[in-house]
Each structure stands twice: as structure tokens, then as C-alpha cells.
Amino acid sequence: MDAGPDPAEVVGRRAARWAWLWLLYLVYPVWQIATARLLPGRAIEALALLAVYVGLYVGYWRQADGRASGDRRPPWAPAVARWAYVAATVAVAGLEAAMLRSPDAVEFAVYAAPAVALEPDRRGFGIGTAVLLALTAGLLALLRAGPSAYLAGLVPTFTVAVASRGIFELVSMQRALARARADVEALSAANERLRISRDLHDILGHSLSAIAMRAELARAQALDAAPEAAHEMDRVAQLARQALAEVRAMVAGVHTTTLRQEWERLAELFAFAGIAAQATWPERMPPAPVERALALVLREAATNVLRHSGARRCEVRLEADPTGFELAVRDDGRGGPIVPGHGLRGVSERLSEFGGTVAWSRPPGGGLELRARVRSRPAEEHSA
């Protein structure tokens, strides 16, 4: 699975909805221009510059909303747009301060703080905030501002950047939590389908096999005495065999999952739960029936690690040798009594069809380890 969009992509849409409200604070620079006793031409220039900035502001937050580009931008586009907007904001703040001949206009740089907060990671956010504060301090130094101007220019910028980052991370966490909840629900639904398909195969498959066998026996007994009845019983046996084949095909379709596909789904859940997980695969993978069975073992074992272990690390390893394959799932959790539930018990029963076994143990370093061993050619050995 992919790592997901950066925070700009995750929360930009919600931030953009609030961006229109932030425009109300532009009343303050307009008031500064109106009360600065500027010549009419210089006042018009300052207002025109402010109008140009409003256009830049609206354009930036529209693209952050994703609607202007249809979400088809290249990966580098959000960062380029973000820092172009930050640079433009600082430049406008400097020009406004120069026109008004007042360092108070540098406070205008605070409008760049929410954009800096959209940096993908905390390290980038820290660097971006430091750069913005340094640019703001540089403008104040050029204007030979006093200590109060530094306080009025830097503190609000820093405060808005940190507050915006907190809000954006909260929204991002809510988005990730919703995605993880959907993954857990999908995993639970998949487990339920597997249980139903297993029960269907075990119960209905056995009944259809018995019907086919009894129909063949009745046909053999009635072949001489009642040829027509023998013909009908032959048709019953054919229908039973056909239904059995359809049930097996359906069950096989439900189980068509490879180990790597199953791991891709589980890796994101481990990451969200804060569990450092890694998987190691051999060059030679098991045959499809064996791999499907081992994928079920991996799913059930991973579910137990996520729900009950309290682990910080989980290691998955598949080993291949001339006699078969062994899947090991080990965690460093709190361990506890080894009581197989319905899921692992059902998987153990399924592995037994291939001459496979499942064993649990407590490693010396703590935690729990599950090992599933399956012979490499179950179909041939099982039929022998």
C-alpha cells in the first residue's frame, strides 16, 4: 500500500474552507493604509499591492483545496506552490512596510504561517517555520525596527504556525484513524467470508460427496433390475459431483490470496498501531493451495498480535526447504496463555488437509511465536 498523501493533500481541503474567513483580517492592513497619511498615488499603489496579494492568496488556497487542478498534480507541485506563496507573502509584507514606512506592516507575514504548517513532516515544518521567522526578522532589521516590532511580528507568526500545525495534524490523524477502521472492518468481513466458505465446504461438501457415493451404489444395485432407475440415479450422481465441484471452485475463489498480498494489507495496520513489522520471503514461494492456506495463518496470527499482544515489534518469516515451507510469526508482546481461538483452530484444521501443523511457543526473549509447517506438495501426498 502506498504511504498516503502528505498533510497538504490530507487537510488542504478543510484548511481552504477556513481560508476565506481569514481574509477578514485584511481589514487591519487596509486600516493602516487609510490612516498612514500617504499621498493619494502611494495609497493607491499600496491598495493595489494588497489586491494582488488577495489574488495570490485565493489562488494558493484554491489549489490546496484540490479543485482547481482536479487532484492530478505531480508530487512536487504542492511544495512548489506552498513556498512560492510563502515567498510572495513575505515580499508583499516588506513592500507594504516600505510604502507605509512602518515596521508594523511586517505582521502581514503571519499569513504565510498556515502554509508552512502544511509541510509533510515535522522536521520540514520546523525548518520552514525557522525560515519564515528568519525572513520576517530580516525585514524588521532592514526597517530598523525596535524590540516591540520584533515581538509583534515574530510571536504571532510563530503562534499561528504552531496552532495551524496542531489543527492539521489532528485532522490528518482523524483521516488515518478512519482509514485504519475501514481496513479493520474489511479484514473482519474477509475473515467472516472465509469462515462461511470453510463451513460451506466442510458441511455441504461432505453431504454432496455422500449423495454421490450413495447414488452410485444405488445405480449399481438397480442396473439389472431397473435400468431406468439406474439411469436416473446416474444423473443424480452427476448432479452431486457437479455441485461439489462448484462449491470447491467457489471456496477456492474466496481464498485466492497470496502471502505478499496479505502482508501488504496487514503492514499498514501494523504501522498505524505503532508496531514495527517486517517480513522476509524466500525466492521460491509455495504452490497456490499451500500459499492460500499460509496466507490465512498469517492473517489470523497478525490479528492476534494487533488485538491482544501489546507488542512493539513483529517479525514474519517464510522459509523454504526441500521438504516444505514454514511460516513463523513472532512478536515481543506480553505473551499470555496459549488458547487457540476459532480462527486459528479453523486454520489448523485446514492445514491438516495438506499434512501441515501449527504450533505456538514462547521465545526466550518474551512474546509469542507461531509456526505453521506445510509439506511442499500437499496435493500429491494427500492423494497418495
The whole-number pLDDT of residue 204 equals 64
| Structure confidence at residue 7 as a pLDDT band (50, 70, 90) | very low
Joined grid coordinates for residue 318 = 517464510
- Mean pLDDT within 161-181: 82
Which comes out higher in pLDDT, residue 130 or 171?
130
Q: In this predicted structure, what is the pLDDT of residue 262? A: 83
| pLDDT at residue 300, as a whole number | 82
**Confidence at 65, pLDDT banded by 50, 70, 90:** low
pLDDT average, residue stretch 60-86:
70
Of 31-45, 200-214, 280-294, least confident by mean pLDDT is 200-214
| Percent over 90 (pLDDT), the chain | 7
Shared domain check, 276 and 330: yes
Distance CA 100, CA 355 (A): 85
> Residue 73 — φ and ψ, nearest 5°?
-75, 150
> Is the Cβ–Cβ distance between 349 and 296 less than 8 Å?
no
Task: Tell me: pLDDT of 160 over 90.
Answer: no
CA distance 236 to 230: 10
- Identify whether residues 218 and 283 lie together within a single domain: no
Q: What is the pLDDT of residue 328?
A: 94
**Is 50 contained in some domain?**
yes
Yes or no: say if 89 and 112 are a contact pair by the CB < 8 Å rule: yes
pLDDT of residue 67: 45
Same-domain status, 86 and 136: yes
pLDDT in tens, 42-59: 888 888 888 888 888 878
Look at residue 141 and tell me whether its pLDDT is greater than 80.
yes
Strand order in the sheet with 324-331: 276-280, 313-321, 324-331, 368-375, 357-361
Residue with the larger pLDDT of the pair 314 and 202: 314
pLDDT average, residue stretch 118-138: 86
* 1 inside domain: no
Is 2 a domain residue? no
CATH number at residue 379: 3.30.565.10
**Is residue 243 domain-shared with residue 263, that is, in the same domain?**
no
Number of domains in the chain: 3
Does residue 227 lie in a domain region? yes
> Does one domain contain both 60 and 147?
yes
> Cα(343)–Cα(300) distance, rounded to whole angstroms?
6
**Last-in-domain residue among 227, 254, 281:** 254
101 — pLDDT class (breaks 50, 70, 90):
confident
Percent of the chain with pLDDT over 70: 73
From 153, 180, 207, the end of a domain falls on: 180
Q: What is the mean pLDDT of the chain?
A: 76
User: Please, what is the end-to-end C-alpha distance for the chain in angstroms?
Assistant: 41
Point out the least confidently predicted range of 130-139, 213-222, 318-327: 213-222
Q: What does the pLDDT read at residue 265?
A: 79
Same domain, 245 and 268: no
The whole-number pLDDT of residue 372 equals: 92
Query: Among residues 228, 254, 280, which one ends one of the domains?
Result: 254
pTM for this one?
Answer: 0.46
Model confidence over 11-41: pLDDT tens digits? 455 555 666 677 777 777 788 778 777 778 8
Do residues 279 and 263 make contact, with C-beta atoms less than 8 angstroms apart?
Answer: yes
Buried b (16+ CB within 10 A) or exposed e, 12-49: beebbeebeeeeeebeebeebbeebebeeeebeebeeb
- What pLDDT, on the 0 to 100 scale, is given for residue 196? 72
Q: Is the pLDDT of residue 359 over 70?
A: yes
Distance CA(248)–CA(296), nearest Å, equals: 17
pLDDT, mean of residues 182-208: 69
Task: Indicate the length of the chain as a whole number.
Answer: 384
Do 150 and 266 have their domain in common? no
pLDDT value of residue 1: 40
What are the start-end ranges of the E strands in 198-300?
276-280
**Are 41 and 126 in a shared domain?**
yes
Same domain flag for 195 and 150: no
Q: Do 287 and 164 share a domain, yes or no?
A: no
Give CA torsion, residues 135, 136, 137, 142, to 10 deg.
90
Whether residue 210 is found in the same domain as residue 171: no
| Alpha-carbon gap, residue 316 to 278, rounded angstroms | 6
**Residue 345: which pLDDT band, with cuts at 50, 70 and 90?**
low
pLDDT at 5 over 70: no
Average pLDDT over residues 257-279: 84
The confidence score (pLDDT) of residue 279 equals: 94
Enclosing domain of residue 196 = 186-254
**What is the predicted pLDDT for the residue at 326?**
94
The answer to whether residues 133 and 233 belong to one domain is: no
- What confidence score (pLDDT) does residue 69 get? 43
CB neighbour list of residue 81: distance below 8 Å, 6 or more residues apart: 60, 63, 64
Q: Which residue has the higher pLDDT, 124 or 365?
A: 124
